[in-house]
Structure 1
Amino acid sequence: MEKERERVEATIKIEKILFPVDLTENSSKLLPYVLSLSEKYDSSVVLLHVVQDLNKWGKLYVPHPSMDKFQKEAIEAAKKAMQIVCDNQLQRCPNFQKIVVSGDAADEILKVIASEGIDLLIIGTHGRKGLEHVIFGSVAEKVVKNAPIPVLSINPYKLK
């Protein structure tokens, strides 16, 4: 049994893992899975945070500061928060990269998969149901349906 498992594992190469983070405690709950797989396969980890593009809601009149300035500030705040996550929780993963972008979360995740040569995606779900799911949709669902790579989706609310 052990030899068979070694043979199967030898054929799987996971060099880059993408882990989209929403910078909430939900992401922290998933980190043990990310770190465990990264260590097991000696993989690098790409942390991605997508700041929602506020312009998708239309050009709102915001007198001061401008919407573009607000968007830039949101991106800078996300970069600082991402650095805190890295400093506090990722000492065991020396091989990681941080990306912060603005746009639609599902679209940006799929773009990073292609541009960074990602082998595995680990993504959290939020378990939205009913009207909330209809209105907000599911980033994880869109990504799972369209990802060209394996996806490990984890509901942080179901973890012990």
Structure 2
Amino acid sequence: MYQDVLLATDGSDGANQATAHAVELVSELNASLHVVTVSEDGPHSSEKRDELRHDHEEEAAQAIEQAERIIADTSVEATTTVRHGVPQDEIIAAAEELGCDLIVVGTVGRSGLENVLVGSVAEEVVRNAPVPVVTVRET
């Protein structure tokens, strides 16, 4: 049914639960797993970084490393990609470019004022993805 699964991660607890779920799905479906994270270079991020802003490139690298640690404990092999831009746009673009037929994403990621201003990445992916989206709620 599904052959290529895209997992979107930001390294949050919710994304880690989505990673575990994606690994289970891929194992059951005998599908390929593609892990993507996005270094937020969109309109809500600033070119000028100060001590109050996180280094988005470092966050993206840590998110990939966390997913790789979870996947390493399984027999699943995965490709990983760091993209740059607005997360929901880049997740959808990656799914299209990789020919993925399913997207897995956590529903709770980073929090705070930035998330309120930007909106829910998972919600935007669900609304705009050309393929089915599995959302995994943080428990």
* Interval containing the TM-score (normalised by the shorter chain): 0.7 to 0.9
Which residue in the other structure is 1:47 paired with? Answer: 35
Cα distance in 1 for partners of 2:131, 2:33 equals 15
For these two proteins, the number of residue pairs brought into alignment is: 134
Which residue in the other structure is 2:90 paired with? Answer: 108
Cα distance in 1 for partners of 2:30, 2:36 equals 19
Distance 1:77 1:136, change over 3 A: closer
Q: Percent identity?
A: 27
Give, in angstroms, the shift of residue 30 of structure 1. 2.2
- What whole-Å deviation, never above 9, does each CA across 1:95-142 have from its counterpart, x for those lacking one? 2100001100000011101100001111111289xx886522111111
Determine if the alignment matches structure 1 residue 30 to structure 2 residue 18: yes
CA RMSD in angstroms comes to 3.1
- 2:10–2:63 contact (8 Å) kept in structure 1: no
TM-score w.r.t. the length of structure 1 is 0.70
SS of residue paired to 2:21: helix
Give, in angstroms, the shift of residue 74 of structure 1. 4.0
- 1:20–1:122 contact (8 Å) kept in structure 2: yes
Structure 1 segments, 4+ long, off by >3 Å, are 54-60, 131-134
- What is the identity, as a one-letter code, of the residue corresponding to 1:47? V
Which residue in the other structure is 2:79 paired with? Answer: 97
- 1:38–1:93 contact (8 Å) kept in structure 2: no
Distance 1:109 1:19, change over 3 A: same
SS of residue paired to 1:22: coil
Q: Say which structure is richer in helix.
A: 1
**Mind listing any 5+ residue stretches in structure 2 that lack a counterpart?**
none
Which residue in the other structure is 1:151 paired with? Answer: 133
Cα distance in 1 for partners of 2:92, 2:99 equals 11
| Higher-Rg member (1/2) | 1
Larger relative contact order (Cα-Cα within 8 Å, sequence gap ≥ 6): 2
- What is the identity, as a one-letter code, of the residue corresponding to 1:48? V
Which residue in the other structure is 1:6 paired with? Answer: none
Give, in angstroms, the shift of residue 29 of structure 1. 1.9
- What whole-Å deviation, never above 9, does each CA across 1:29-72 have from its counterpart, x for those lacking one? 22231111101111111111101116754654x6x9xxxxxx9x
- 1:43–1:95 contact (8 Å) kept in structure 2: no
- 2:39–2:83 contact (8 Å) kept in structure 1: yes
Distance 1:74 1:140, change over 3 A: closer
Cα distance in 2 for partners of 1:75, 1:97 equals 18
